[in-house]
């Protein structure tokens, strides 16, 4: 089914039995073009003098980098967000984060619903693609749930964070900071307004900030279909879907294991000056944020190399399908891990929770893993040629961009022009690549009538 297929959206002929072929973009192409258009619009708005603080340089590449980072909900920045941009610039960035996190078609659905307009098949297909959903059935209803859940969650946590920061910053600034960081955290963006590239390091041992931000990150990165499934099971007792069980299991394992390992590795390093509770909170926070959020309460450059490499692994895995996060996704990692475990145990099928995962899903997971690893390796190789930085720092930066995380070891502002362009492309591919690839592989099934003889090869 190609982009020139007249029946792609159920379009029939027009007038006196004649059929007209209409050029249509596929849902995946529409997503790519839509995100690109939003990024370009955001870059133009950020280039306006009203967006930049007086005396600061107005540079289109800087604006493009920031807009890409916001729409792709990454958080990597080449200039300090809190001091370089004006309030208008911050509002533009916040709007880009919201649209980028939910997907522009989900936001378009919100406008359609407000205007009372009917959502057609084409729009439903694009929503399905953007939300990484497996069926058209109930897709508009799911979009409604996503919008309601998103706005309510952001407002509730914005109120809590505003109260907390009002004590430090005054009520007016506290309200704005609460709203901005609530939206940024839920959408796993990682942008902050505290200045000097310090993120949330002043609140490493603060329970309110730590628990609010990490809860927002988890809710935004767990996947909207998982949230709907869990809520549905509370209303109607029954079994959770296999997808939900796998997401919750892998996410829980990564957070718990990450917290323990960071605590042990950094106990006498970056955690040294914190209280016993503060050490646990900082370790937990830093185990959650690599799951594509980008905030940090510990200095990334001061971490041990082992901890930095652990964060690279967590960033590469990323969040869950149908969420605001990036990476190869928890289900991709989980299904491959289960497949290997079943193979070691001599099982012919990939089985977990008394269910079987189809072989086609394993193939798609493997394809996503290899393509993602190839992209990260290639970009890191190019950066190692053009940038003057440690290899681990470059790998960290590239993986952060691909996983739409936003953590950095401090080299982002020092990137060359070529390096900035590479990271822009990596953020864009990281936000759209694995998602659109997964659905392209899921739909395109070409069965050949020719079946070649099987022959063994030596592996391992």
Predicted confidence (pLDDT) per residue in 388-403, tens digit: 889 999 999 999 999 9
Alpha-carbon distance of 278 to 185, in angstroms, equals 20
Alpha-carbon distance of 255 to 291, in angstroms, equals 9
- 255's CB contacts (< 8 A; 6+ apart) are 218, 284, 287, 288, 291
Is the pLDDT reported for residue 32 higher than 90? Answer: no
Alpha-carbon distance of 129 to 305, in angstroms, equals 38
pLDDT tens, residue by residue, 179-201: 999 999 998 888 999 988 888 98
Mean pLDDT is lowest, of 195-204, 279-288, 432-441, 448-457, for 432-441
Burial profile 335-371: b = 16 or more Cβ within 10 angstroms, e = fewer: bbebbeebeeeeeeebebeeeebeeebbebbeebbee
Residue range 255-282: mean pLDDT, rounded: 93
Is the pLDDT reported for residue 428 higher than 50? Answer: yes
Is the pLDDT reported for residue 364 higher than 80? Answer: yes
The chain-wide mean pLDDT, for the chain, equals: 81
Residue range 248-272: mean pLDDT, rounded: 93
Alpha-carbon distance of 229 to 306, in angstroms, equals 37
Residue range 149-175: mean pLDDT, rounded: 92
Specify the length of the chain in residues: 460
- Specify whether the CB–CB gap between 109 and 96 falls below 8 A: no
Is the pLDDT reported for residue 360 higher than 70? Answer: yes
Domain extents in the chain: 27-443
- Integer CA distances (angstroms), 105 to 70, 110, 130, 171, 246, in order: 17, 9, 7, 35, 27
- The token pair that represents 98 in the structure block: 């919201």
User: What's 203's DSSP letter?
Assistant: G
Residue range 306-330: mean pLDDT, rounded: 87
- The token pair that represents 166 in the structure block: 């009002």
- Specify whether the CB–CB gap between 45 and 27 falls below 8 A: no
Given this model, what pLDDT does residue 241 score?
84
Q: Quick one: pLDDT band at residue 312, thresholds 50, 70, 90?
A: very high
pTM > 0.85: yes or no:
no
Three-class secondary structure of residue 345 per DSSP? coil
Cα-Cα-Cα-Cα dihedral of 23, 28, 32, 37, to 10°?
A: 50
Is the pLDDT reported for residue 20 higher than 70? Answer: no
Alpha-carbon distance of 292 to 284, in angstroms, equals 15
- Phi and psi of 339, rounded to 5°? -60, -45
Alpha-carbon distance of 205 to 148, in angstroms, equals 32
Q: Quick one: pLDDT band at residue 449, thresholds 50, 70, 90?
A: low
Alpha-carbon distance of 34 to 28, in angstroms, equals 10
Is the pLDDT reported for residue 349 higher than 50? Answer: yes
Tell me which H or E stretch contains 356.
strand 355-357
Cα-Cα-Cα-Cα dihedral of 433, 438, 442, 443, to 10°?
A: -20
Alpha-carbon distance of 19 to 417, in angstroms, equals 50
Given this model, what pLDDT does residue 58 score?
84
Given this model, what pLDDT does residue 377 score?
95
pLDDT tens, residue by residue, 93-122: 999 998 888 765 555 555 555 545 555 555
Mean pLDDT is lowest, of 181-195, 241-255, 311-325, for 311-325
Given this model, what pLDDT does residue 114 score?
52
pLDDT tens, residue by residue, 196-218: 888 898 898 899 999 999 999 99
- The token pair that represents 63 in the structure block: 């604006």
Query: Diameter of the chain by CA atoms?
Result: 81
Q: Quick one: pLDDT band at residue 19, thresholds 50, 70, 90?
A: very low
Alpha-carbon distance of 393 to 312, in angstroms, equals 10
């Amino acid at each position: 089914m190609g982009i020139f297929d007249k029946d792609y959206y159920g379009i029939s002929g027009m007038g006196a039995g004649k059929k007209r072929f209409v050029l249509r973009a596929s849902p995946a192409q529409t997503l790519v073009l839509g995100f690109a258009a939003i990024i370009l619009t955001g870059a133009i708005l950020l280039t306006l003098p009203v967006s930049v603080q007086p005396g600061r340089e107005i540079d289109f590449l800087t604006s493009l980098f920031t807009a890409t980072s916001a729409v792709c909900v990454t958080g990597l920045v080449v200039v300090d967000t809190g001091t370089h941009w004006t309030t208008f610039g911050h509002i533009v960035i916040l709007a880009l984060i919201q649209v980028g996190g939910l997907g522009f078609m989900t936001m378009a659905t919100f406008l359609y619903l407000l205007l009372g307009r009917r959502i057609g098949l084409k729009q439903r297909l694009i929503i399905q693609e953007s939300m990484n959903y497996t069926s058209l059935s109930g897709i508009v209803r799911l979009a409604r749930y996503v919008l309601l859940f998103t706005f309510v969650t952001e407002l509730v946590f914005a109120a809590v964070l505003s109260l907390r920061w009002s004590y430090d910053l005054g009520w007016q600034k506290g309200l704005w900071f609460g709203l901005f960081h609530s939206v940024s955290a839920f959408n796993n963006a990682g942008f902050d307004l505290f200045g000097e590239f310090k993120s949330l390091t002043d609140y490493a041992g603060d329970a309110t900030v730590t628990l609010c931000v990490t809860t927002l990150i988890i809710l935004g990165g767990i996947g909207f279909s998982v949230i709907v499934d869990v809520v549905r099971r509370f209303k109607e007792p029954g079994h959770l879907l296999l997808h939900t069980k796998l997401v919750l299991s892998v996410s829980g394992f990564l957070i718990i294991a990450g917290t323990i390992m960071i605590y042990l590795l950094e106990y006498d390093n970056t955690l040294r000056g914190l209280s016993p509770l503060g050490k646990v909170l900082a370790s937990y926070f830093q185990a959650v944020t690599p799951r594509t959020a980008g905030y940090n309460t510990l200095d990334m450059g001061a971490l041990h190399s082992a901890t930095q490499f652990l964060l690279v692994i967590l960033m590469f895995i990323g969040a869950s399908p149908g969420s605001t996060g990036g990476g190869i996704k928890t289900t991709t990692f989980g299904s491959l891990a289960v497949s290997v475990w079943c193979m070691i145990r001599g099982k012919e099928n990939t089985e977990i929770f008394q269910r079987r995962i189809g072989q086609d899903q394993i193939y798609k997971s493997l394809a996503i893993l290899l393509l993602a690893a190839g992209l990260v390796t290639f970009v890191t190789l190019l950066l190692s040629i053009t940038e003057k930085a440690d290899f681990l720092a470059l790998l960290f930066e590239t993986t952060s961009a691909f996983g739409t995380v936003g953590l950095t070891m401090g080299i982002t502002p020092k990137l060359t022009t070529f390096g900035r362009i590479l990271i822009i492309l990596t953020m864009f591919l990281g936000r759209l690549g694995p998602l659109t690839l997964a659905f392209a592989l899921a739909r395109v099934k070409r069965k050949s009538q020719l079946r070649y003889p099987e022959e063994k090869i030596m592996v391992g």
